[in-house]
Structure 1
Amino acid sequence: MLEVTPFGEGWVLEYEGGGLPAAVPGCVHTDLLAAGVIPDPFLGRNETEAAWVGRREWAYTTGLSAPSGHERTDLVFDGLDTAAEITLDGRLLGRTRNMHRSYRFDVTGLEGRLAVRFASAYTEAAAVRDRLGERPAAYAEPYQYLRKMACSFGWDWGPTLVTAGIWRPVRLEHWSTARIARVRPVVTARQSLGVVELRVDVERIRAGAGLAVAVRVGGQEARAPVEGTGAVVRVEVPDVRLWWPRGYGEQPLYEVELTLLHEDRVLDSWRRRIGFRTVELDRRPDEHGTAFTLVVNGERLFARGVNWIPDDVFPSRVTRDRYRERLGRAAEAGVDLVRVWGGGLYESEDFYDACDELGLLVWQDFPFACAAYPEEQPLRGEVEAEARENVVRLMPHPSLALWNGNNENLWGFRDWGWEEPLGGESWGEGYYLGLLPRIVAELDPARPYTAGSPWSGSWERHPNDPAHGTHHSWEVWNRADYAEYRSEVPRFVAEFGWQAPPAYATLRRALPGEELAADSPGMLHHQKADDGNGKLRRGLEPHFAFPDGDFDRWHYLTQVNQARAVAAGIEHWRAHWPVCAGTVVWQLNDCWPVTSWAAIDGDGREKPLWHELRRLYADRLLTLQVRERGLVLAAVNQAARAWNGDLALRRMTVDGVLVGRALLPLAAGARAVAVVDVPRGLRPEGPAEFLVADADGLRALYFPVPDREIPYPKPEFEVTVAPGAVTVTVTARTLVRDLLLQADRLDPAARADRGLVTLLPGERVTIGVSGWETPDVAAARAALYCVEPAR
């Protein structure tokens, strides 16, 4: 039987003629940080003091002694970052140049000093660039010239901390006769019959007869002989329970156990969990353009999505528990699809396991983003090898729903001025429209593939045409007010978003001793977007008087504006289902403490946007919108049952006077949207009026003018605090708009169970607070913020 020996202990990082203890898996930065050689690059402006780390060579060493009693011993690296040379007592075992692959070396009978020497990623990238020529990119760093996590070189939300190291686990595998080299399970479901076809590749020490594979799944068993170095075994499982995305059903998982046998002696085994389900992508043309609708088990979905970036600049620090916690909060916010963005990684098994269990569909980008990528060697062979390995590695996961060729590169070629400087040189099109779809069709035929995001499906149309395929909506954040989200109905919005700073406690930890201001040195360093603060200001001013010199108000209002902007988009697009079939917010998470588009900041604290997503992505949503025919209410019902009830409309003044009211019937079919015209007499007139819509505990508000034009009364409210299971209750005496308890101002560990809430006069809200050890009314009142009259 194959035996595995973990090989992560005893490594040393060579440094200044000596050695530092090295954590494997890990990276140079984390080892230097642990040894006190560099300061924490996440604090203040320390990032710049660690820039030298990515520009020099590094070496990891350890002793290798591998007697095993087996015929063969392999040294297996699950991940090396990135350009490395592996030697044993000076003897070359191999060279690597791809962070996204695993590597295996025969070390049978060998022992001595093992060294893994990493070239600077900058040096490796420069060598490829010199050989193949310049390629344009959205950023100046040379990430397109090597197969490495692109955002390691910095992004408009991430620091430039160019890593090197043994970033995934290492082990020794001892085996005899043969081992399982690869298993490719194709899982299908037809009604209640599940079918698993496993294509098995075997590595043998010698030719011979007597090898077989046996598989067990769902109480069913099958067996097939190994012919040469391969076998195919098929199992039919009757009466299977289908795996569904969250909100549509349960997520039953079936254990698959495959064993490699030699005359009934077990040589090796392979175990995975699978789920039975079908997934299709409807891209049919219709009267609105070209659809882009995910269909799971025959059910058409409006995808409630978020974009995922690597959860840490140093990805070896992301544990199974951390994945589960982050993704659990995505599910808690109503998310049912997570897009793994192309400037990052193929994530670890822990990520996809959590998605399987939580019912989160995964849209997986191949790692290409915002650049023209050469298609010649040495890159082409690396791209093919990594794609083949990772398609097979991830295909057992039922959560994996879609392969996507790249992020924004097809769009970039058309719109970002690449074509002329390329002068006919390769730029990646052959990957996205040729190599990658062929690999997916060959290896994972049960899953759809799309060439890129955005992509309209054809060069005959603009790549980012909102009427065809996927669309990225960035004109709004970059150049327009968020009200412009309502000007079009894309078929699928794969990226859009709005920035806001992280939580106050996150800023206090990340910028110790700094007097916080929107433009203080540390705040500016932790704002990586081009003219990010300028865009925050220009996005705020149409709605609120800009709070010059008042950091606390700026912090609150920019977070409110982020939530309002994303709400404007999602409410509009969900209300146009099934023409629009999904929204994927940029972005769920952050990789360090930074002002960004994230809903959960780099320290894991929720912004108000996260709480707003819980409302926006709930099965049922009320929204008031202005359309060509006038003011309407859209009742969005993504639940499996019809939504029938009463709709209460109230036209009110900001001083609390009821101007008019009506009770209307509400009827929205299952997975459908109902649109109700607001009676003309209930439509607000002038800046002092607004409309309230209530149904089944849900509420929608419509204010006809921006906040800065509304004559709000000075907000008045009472606050009480109940100890024990701590709650803060706020009772409004006046209209209180977008009340927010910033729990982290009470205690860095504190968390509130709700975000922004608007109270009418006489209404109250009770907010649960965890992690607050010394509840106090005065402290609670000081941590409460709301919209105030324009000054």
Structure 2
Amino acid sequence: MKDVTPVVDGWNLRLPGDFRGAGTGEDGREKVTAAVPGCVHTDLLAAGLLADPFLDRNELDAAWVGRTDWTYETVLPPHATTHERSDLVFDGLDTVAEITLGGSVLGRTRNMHRSYRFDVTGELPGTGVPLTVAFTSAYTEAERVRSLVGDRPNAYPEPFQFIRKMACSFGWDWGPTLVTAGIWKPVRLEHWSTARLARVTPLVTVTDGTGRVEARVELERTAAGAERPLTVRLRVGGTVTETVVPAGADRAAAVAEIAAPDLWWPHGYGEQPLYDCEVTLLDAQARGPAAELDRWQRRIGFRTVTLDTSPDEHGTAFTLVVNGTPVFARGVNWIPDDALPTRIDAARYRRRLEQAAAAGVDLVRVWGGGIYESDDFYVACDELGLLVWQDFLFACAAYPEEQPLRSEIEAEARENVSRLAAHPSLALWNGNNENLWGFRDWEWEEALAGDSWGEGYYLGLLARIVAETDPTRPYWAGSPWSGSWDHHPNDPRHGTAHSWEVWNRVDYTAYLDDVPRFVAEFGWQAPPAYATARRALSDDPLTPDSPGMLHHQKAGDGNGKLARGLAHHFPVPADFDTWHYLTQVNQVRAIATGIEHWRSHWPVCAGTVVWQLNDCWPVTSWAAIDGDERPKPLYHELKRLYADRLITVQPRPEGLVAALVNQTAQDWTGTAVLCRVAVDGAVLAEVRLPFTAAPRTVARIALPAEVLPAAGSGKELLTVRVGDERAFWFPVRDKDFGYPEPSWDVDVAVRPDGRAAVTVTARTLLRDLLLQADRLGPEAGADRGLTTLLPGESVTITVSGWDRPSPDAAAAALSCVNAAVRDGGAGTGPRATSSHPG
């Protein structure tokens, strides 16, 4: 059996010659202890030689790290082995490296997104042998390649498309510029004989109720094992099959069939049963334990996934179909969860993805400017039922198709398509992010003057690799992409669309102007939680345009867009607290406007993928969960927007309708209670209408005239209630509505588990009441976001991590739109509260 030895201990990072303040090695060079896996930034941080680049404007002081060459070194311990072959394996090197063992160069690398294997047979004597990994600055390599192939346009002034590295290392409109280097994935020695499993790609299908696993196996043999017959044993659950591999052959396919397997379903559609899948390579001429040469193990799930792109009267569909069931994708975009991705562990992936599932998300799009995530990410998605839309790693730039990049891209794509094939959560491969659109609309075509820019990857190479390596999954050339050059790449009537006129140029009410077939990106910014901003920034006072806040706003004219977005709906905020609250409200309102509208048009629109779920550092961004892992109000709103059943009031050509969205497998039958309500809570008119929404459909109820508020009224609103769920419709924008001075009572009770139950009872209409729990203490968190109450109604908010619960403290952390509008933006609520200890 193969013998595996991790190479974890004894690593040092050699520092530049003029560096001072670290330990000195035997060669007189200064060095610090290095963590592997890890990166230069994390090693320097651990040694106290780099200020945290996430704080204040320290990012600028860390820029030199990315432009410096670095060397990692260790000594491989003696290791006696009787195996024929020894390999040194790097699962990931970031990015341009020369590997030297005992003074001999093993090889060079220039791709963060693939693994490398070096034959070191005979290079490991009985004494320790020095191993050195010398990294060249990614800037140096990118600029070298650019000089070879010629410049290409991109969306950011950094050369990220000339090197196969995480593009957002070079900065993005939500991320810092921290150009990393290091041994970012595990290193190991593998000692083996006869043959090994070089690659296993399990193709899992279901036909007529029978599950089938075809394990495609690629082998590597030693010279002595070249002519030996081998056996591949495939076990799926309790089913075992064996396949003979003739002498000299380096490929095989083992097949197992499972009668009536339990199907894997997306979150909200069914369960996620997983089956153990094991491939064992055996020496056919050996007996007993010596026969086993290598083993590969994963868990798989049986399901079918197809992409419906049928033309219809609305254009061209883009609908994921799982196990024959069309799915409205309730999605979020995913970026690397840390700008220094080696700090993301399995527990962090699990926390974030559990948050997604708890919000009703059933699809996560891994965006093309990041990384192919670790197996921990996809395992969590398998277990939670989160479909994965996986971008190939191309984003917002024209990518050269010449060498040395082309061969690296092909190797990277083949490795990762095979690596991820076992995961039932993986539903779609996507060729790129915004590059086909960029070629058409961002003035690239003229600038390129006929030079290559990536089209051959997206419409040729990558499609072929997916078809050859894993034909069980659909491939789409890009996002946005209409399916062919016959239509504009971002034509909402065809394929996938990105909606960025909203936010960049127009108000979020413009979401109502069209019905895309699938909205793969849309979003609206808001700052991070107050406690996150306060931890990361020392600005005094903290204002929207204080130095730290501006540095942690990476979007072009980001604060200007926030201000113009607020101006459509609210008075100008007079202080930071009001600005912070209202920008959170506006983010929620924007996303709600889009999702409610598009879900009400199912099945014409078959998915919304919010930009974005997560942040990689403390920043003002489009995220629902900020860089300190604190949920914003948007996160809580997603629970309502992505619930299996949603009530929304929508304009239609014939007038207002109540849309009752039913994404369950059962009929939704009930009575909708429609009320016209005065601002003081008086019910002016009420109509009760029975309805039935069939499974996976939308029922629409025309609203009778008697429940419609007068056009332009600032004194009336509409409510639609079904059971405990309710939707509101206000006929005018907030700054034109006659909100009463807010008043409420607060009661706080401490539960046996230590959490506090904060009950707020409205004395007046309260619009978008929010308890900002992190203002009670940095560790405090609430289970609810924005809540609208009519007079006499109550809501109970559960707060965890609060050391000293009290009604007065809770009241001081409450905000609502009423106060922000009535006071001309000066204050959001605490001065207008009444608190009682209960």
**Normalised TM-score (structure 1):** 0.99
Alignment of 1:255 with 2:276, yes or no, is yes
Check conservation: 1:192, 1:241, Cα contact below 8 A.
Answer: no
**1-structure distance, mates of 2:221, 2:295:** 15
Residue deviations 1:191-213, cap 9 Å, x none?
43110011111111022223111
Which residues in structure 2 correspond to 1:376-415 (within 5 Å)? 376-415=402-441
Q: Extract structure 1 runs of 4+ deviating beyond 6 A.
A: none
Which residues in structure 2 correspond to 1:672-691 (within 5 Å)? 672-685=697-710, 686-691=713-718
Alignment of 1:553 with 2:565, yes or no, is no
**2-structure distance, mates of 1:417, 1:236:** 52
**1-structure distance, mates of 2:82, 2:531:** 56
* Letter of the structure 2 residue corresponding to residue 606 of structure 1: P
**Normalised TM-score (structure 2):** 0.94
Alignment of 1:453 with 2:479, yes or no, is yes
Q: CA RMSD in A?
A: 0.8
Alignment of 1:741 with 2:771, yes or no, is yes
3-state DSSP class of the match of 1:425? Answer: coil
Residue deviations 1:362-402, cap 9 Å, x none?
00000000000000000000000000000000010000000
- The residue number in structure 2 matching 1:782 is 812
- The residue number in structure 1 matching 2:31 is 19
**2-structure distance, mates of 1:534, 1:196:** 54
Residue deviations 1:542-582, cap 9 Å, x none?
1110113x100100000000000000000000000000000
- The residue number in structure 1 matching 2:730 is 703
Alignment of 1:595 with 2:620, yes or no, is yes
Alignment of 1:580 with 2:610, yes or no, is no
| Alpha-carbon shift at residue 513 of structure 1 (Å) | 5.3
| Alpha-carbon shift at residue 429 of structure 1 (Å) | 0.1
Check conservation: 2:539, 2:548, Cα contact below 8 A.
Answer: no
- The residue number in structure 2 matching 1:157 is 174
Residue deviations 1:709-753, cap 9 Å, x none?
001000100001001331000000100000000011111111101
- The residue number in structure 2 matching 1:757 is 787
Residue deviations 1:283-326, cap 9 Å, x none?
01000000000000000000000000000011111000000000
Check conservation: 2:7, 2:76, Cα contact below 8 A.
Answer: no
Which residues in structure 2 correspond to 1:612-623 (within 5 Å)? 612-623=637-648
Out of 518, 543, 548, the position equivalent to 1:492 is 518
* Letter of the structure 1 residue corresponding to residue 505 of structure 2: R
Out of 370, 390, 403, the position equivalent to 1:364 is 390
* Letter of the structure 1 residue corresponding to residue 793 of structure 2: E
3-state DSSP class of the match of 1:194? Answer: strand
- The residue number in structure 1 matching 2:633 is 608
* Letter of the structure 2 residue corresponding to residue 45 of structure 1: R
Out of 40, 50, 58, the position equivalent to 1:28 is 40
| Alpha-carbon shift at residue 460 of structure 1 (Å) | 1.2
Moved more, 19-28 or 223-232: 223-232
| Alpha-carbon shift at residue 466 of structure 1 (Å) | 0.2
Q: How many residues align?
A: 790
Check conservation: 1:80, 1:167, Cα contact below 8 A.
Answer: yes
Check conservation: 1:514, 1:522, Cα contact below 8 A.
Answer: no
| Alpha-carbon shift at residue 651 of structure 1 (Å) | 0.3
**1-structure distance, mates of 2:5, 2:228:** 29
- The residue number in structure 2 matching 1:308 is 334
Out of 240, 264, 270, the position equivalent to 1:243 is 264
Out of 348, 351, 364, the position equivalent to 2:374 is 348
Residue deviations 1:399-428, cap 9 Å, x none?
000000000000000000000110100000
3-state DSSP class of the match of 1:9? Answer: coil
Check conservation: 1:223, 1:233, Cα contact below 8 A.
Answer: yes
3-state DSSP class of the match of 1:655? Answer: coil
**1-structure distance, mates of 2:642, 2:572:** 30
Residue deviations 1:681-718, cap 9 Å, x none?
11111121110110021110000100000010001000
Residue deviations 1:579-624, cap 9 Å, x none?
0000000000000000000000000000000000000000000001
3-state DSSP class of the match of 1:514? Answer: coil
Out of 180, 203, 220, the position equivalent to 2:239 is 220
| Alpha-carbon shift at residue 239 of structure 1 (Å) | 2.1
Out of 677, 684, 704, the position equivalent to 1:659 is 684
Q: Identity over aligned residues, as a percent?
A: 68
Check conservation: 2:317, 2:604, Cα contact below 8 A.
Answer: yes
Out of 295, 300, 310, the position equivalent to 1:274 is 300
**1-structure distance, mates of 2:759, 2:14:** 57
**2-structure distance, mates of 1:751, 1:171:** 41
- The residue number in structure 2 matching 1:138 is 155
3-state DSSP class of the match of 1:766? Answer: strand
- The residue number in structure 2 matching 1:562 is 587
- The residue number in structure 1 matching 2:22 is none
* Letter of the structure 2 residue corresponding to residue 472 of structure 1: H
| Alpha-carbon shift at residue 177 of structure 1 (Å) | 1.2
**2-structure distance, mates of 1:696, 1:193:** 42
| Alpha-carbon shift at residue 39 of structure 1 (Å) | 0.2
**2-structure distance, mates of 1:226, 1:21:** 46
3-state DSSP class of the match of 2:490? Answer: coil
**1-structure distance, mates of 2:432, 2:608:** 18
Check conservation: 2:774, 2:781, Cα contact below 8 A.
Answer: yes
Structure 2: runs of 5 or more not aligned: 20-28, 825-838
- The residue number in structure 2 matching 1:469 is 495
| Alpha-carbon shift at residue 19 of structure 1 (Å) | 1.0
**1-structure distance, mates of 2:543, 2:220:** 61
- The residue number in structure 1 matching 2:50 is 38
3-state DSSP class of the match of 1:94? Answer: strand
* Letter of the structure 1 residue corresponding to residue 12 of structure 2: V
* Letter of the structure 2 residue corresponding to residue 682 of structure 1: V
3-state DSSP class of the match of 2:62? Answer: helix
* Letter of the structure 1 residue corresponding to residue 728 of structure 2: L
Residue deviations 1:70-129, cap 9 Å, x none?
111111100000011111132110000000000001112214211101111000000000
Structure 1: runs of 5 or more not aligned: none
**2-structure distance, mates of 1:19, 1:614:** 49
| Alpha-carbon shift at residue 33 of structure 1 (Å) | 0.7
* Letter of the structure 1 residue corresponding to residue 794 of structure 2: R
